[in-house]
Amino acid sequence: MESRYLTPVQLWQNFNPRRDPLRVSVLENTEKDGFIWRSLFFTALTDGDNELRAYARIVSPVNQKNKQKFILYIPDIKINYDLDEVIMDFASRDYTVAYVDLSGEGNKHTIYPGIFEYGKFALAKDNLHNCTPSAEASPMFLWARILRRFLSVVEEYYPKMKPVCVAERGGNEILWQLVAFDSRIYGGMTILGSGLGSFLGFNKPTIAENDDNAHKWEMALSPQAYVKFTICPILIVTCANHESGEFDKLDNLVRLLPEQSLCSTIVSNRLSKQITETSFASMWRWLEGRYSAKKELPKSPDLAFTVESGKLVIDVVPDETDKKVSKVSLYYSYDEPNPEYRNWHCIMGKNETDYKFTLAVSERDHELYTYANVQYRDGVEIASTPIKIDLDSLNITRRRITPIKLLYDTDMELSFFAQTDDVVLRDGTCTIKKDKDGLPGVTVDKGILVSFSVNEKRKLSAEGILQISAYSITQKTITIRLTILENDNYKEYTAEAYLSGGFNWQKLKFQSDDFRDNKHIGLDNWDNLKKIEIINAEGVLFNNMLWV
Instruction: For residues 532 and 522, give the distance between their C-alpha atoms in angstroms, rounded to a whole number.
Output: 16
Residue 1's pLDDT is 44
> Where would I find the beta strands (DSSP E) of 392-522?
406-408, 416-419, 424-425, 430-434, 440-444, 448-451, 466-471, 476-486, 489-499, 505-510
Instruction: For residues 361 and 364, give the distance between their C-alpha atoms in angstroms, rounded to a whole number.
Output: 8
Residue 385's pLDDT is 86
Classify burial at 43, counting beta carbons within 10 Å of its beta carbon; exposed 0-12, middle 13-18, buried 19 or more. Answer: middle
Instruction: For residues 329 and 316, give the distance between their C-alpha atoms in angstroms, rounded to a whole number.
Output: 9
Instruction: For residues 526 and 351, give the distance between their C-alpha atoms in angstroms, rounded to a whole number.
Output: 41
Instruction: For residues 490 and 117, give the distance between their C-alpha atoms in angstroms, rounded to a whole number.
Output: 36
Instruction: For residues 503 and 214, give the distance between their C-alpha atoms in angstroms, rounded to a whole number.
Output: 57
Whether the CB-CB separation of 547 and 466 falls below 8 Å is answered with: yes
Instruction: Please name every residue paired with 26 in a beta bridge, in sequence order, or none if there are none.
Output: 40
Residue 379's pLDDT is 85
Whether the CB-CB separation of 216 and 135 falls below 8 Å is answered with: yes
Residue 114 φ/ψ, nearest 5 degrees:
40, -110
Residue 455 DSSP SS3: helix
Residue 205's pLDDT is 46
Looking at residue 118, what DSSP letter applies?
Answer: G
Instruction: For residues 369 and 391, give the distance between their C-alpha atoms in angstroms, rounded to a whole number.
Output: 10
Q: DSSP readout, 489-544?
A: EEEEEEEEEEE--SS-EEEEEE-GGGSB-TT-PBP--STTEEEEEEES-BT-EEEE
Residue 203's pLDDT is 44
Whether the CB-CB separation of 522 and 512 falls below 8 Å is answered with: yes
Whether the CB-CB separation of 27 and 41 falls below 8 Å is answered with: yes
Whether the CB-CB separation of 165 and 188 falls below 8 Å is answered with: yes
Instruction: For residues 249 and 385, give the distance between their C-alpha atoms in angstroms, rounded to a whole number.
Output: 8
Domains of the chain: 8-232 (3.40.50.1820), 302-393 (2.60.40.10), 406-547 (2.60.120.430)
Residue 58 DSSP SS3: strand
Q: Which positions ≥6 away from 333 have C-beta within 8 Å?
A: 342, 343, 344, 345, 368, 369, 370
Can you say whether residue 309 is alpha, beta or left, with left for phi > 0 and alpha for psi between -120 and 50 degrees? left
Residue 85 DSSP SS3: helix
Instruction: For residues 546 and 440, give the distance between their C-alpha atoms in angstroms, rounded to a whole number.
Output: 16
pLDDT truncated to tens, each residue of the chain (548 aa)?
Answer: 456 889 999 999 999 999 999 999 999 999 999 999 999 999 999 999 999 999 999 999 999 999 999 999 999 887 767 788 888 999 999 999 999 999 999 889 999 999 999 999 999 988 888 898 999 999 999 999 999 999 999 999 999 999 999 999 888 889 999 999 999 999 999 998 766 554 444 444 456 666 788 889 888 998 888 988 988 888 989 999 988 777 887 777 777 777 767 788 899 988 988 999 999 999 999 999 889 866 678 888 999 999 999 999 999 999 988 889 999 999 999 999 999 999 999 999 988 888 999 999 999 999 999 999 999 998 888 999 889 999 999 999 999 999 999 999 999 989 999 999 888 999 999 999 999 999 999 999 999 999 999 999 899 999 999 999 999 999 999 999 999 999 989 999 999 999 999 889 999 999 999 999 999 999 999 999 999 999 999 999 999 999 99
User: Model-level pTM?
Assistant: 0.89
Residue 199's pLDDT is 44
